[in-house]
Amino acid sequence: MDIWGEKVEKIADAITEWMIEKHIICREDKKIYITGICQFISIILDFLGIVLIGIVFDELVRIIFFSILFMYLQRYAGSYHAKTRIGCYCGSMDIVIVNSVCFRYGTFPIVILMGLLIISVILQLEQRKRDTKRGKEENLRYPEAFPFQRNR
């Protein structure tokens, strides 16, 4: 696990321990809550990054609208899964930045767009190789926390 993931998991563990001490949750459910809190922290950090990029490029409303649509599409179409959480975060923010530049300064030249398309195809093919080598379940830290998750 990367340093980013360790920090997020430490925070989630501390929050979960506090919830157990206050008798808000049962100790048996600790792993499920840690997973959920880690996801919640990741969503908050993504949102803060998106808002910051939107403010910097003076395109806040468009970027939020794009991000909502993009996240919805990702949920059903799948996406690249980086090996680390920081890699995933940076990849997501790169997509938002590229889109911000397009919104702000018009479109990219066709050469850059073709390059981005080739890179995305290569990343998707690489992800498929990894997914077929190991089961999708290994992508989850605590698979028992998601008993009803769809197989994509």
For 63-100, how does the pLDDT look when each residue is reduced to its tens digit (9 = 90+)? Answer: 888 888 877 777 666 666 677 777 777 888 888 888 78
The yes-or-no verdict on residue 152 having pLDDT over 60 is: no
Distances (CA, A) of 71 to 13, 31, 50, 67: 27, 25, 12, 6
Side-chain-side CA neighbours of residue 87 (13 Å): 8
Q: What percent of the chain has pLDDT over 70?
A: 74
Q: Which residue has the higher pLDDT, 21 or 68?
A: 21
The yes-or-no verdict on residue 143 having pLDDT over 70 is: no
pLDDT average, residue stretch 130-150: 51
Sorted by sequence, the CB contacts under 8 Å of residue 141 that are 6+ apart come out as 35, 38
Three-state DSSP at 53 gives helix
Q: Where are the alpha helices (DSSP H) in 1-152?
A: 3-21, 30-56, 60-77, 85-105, 110-133
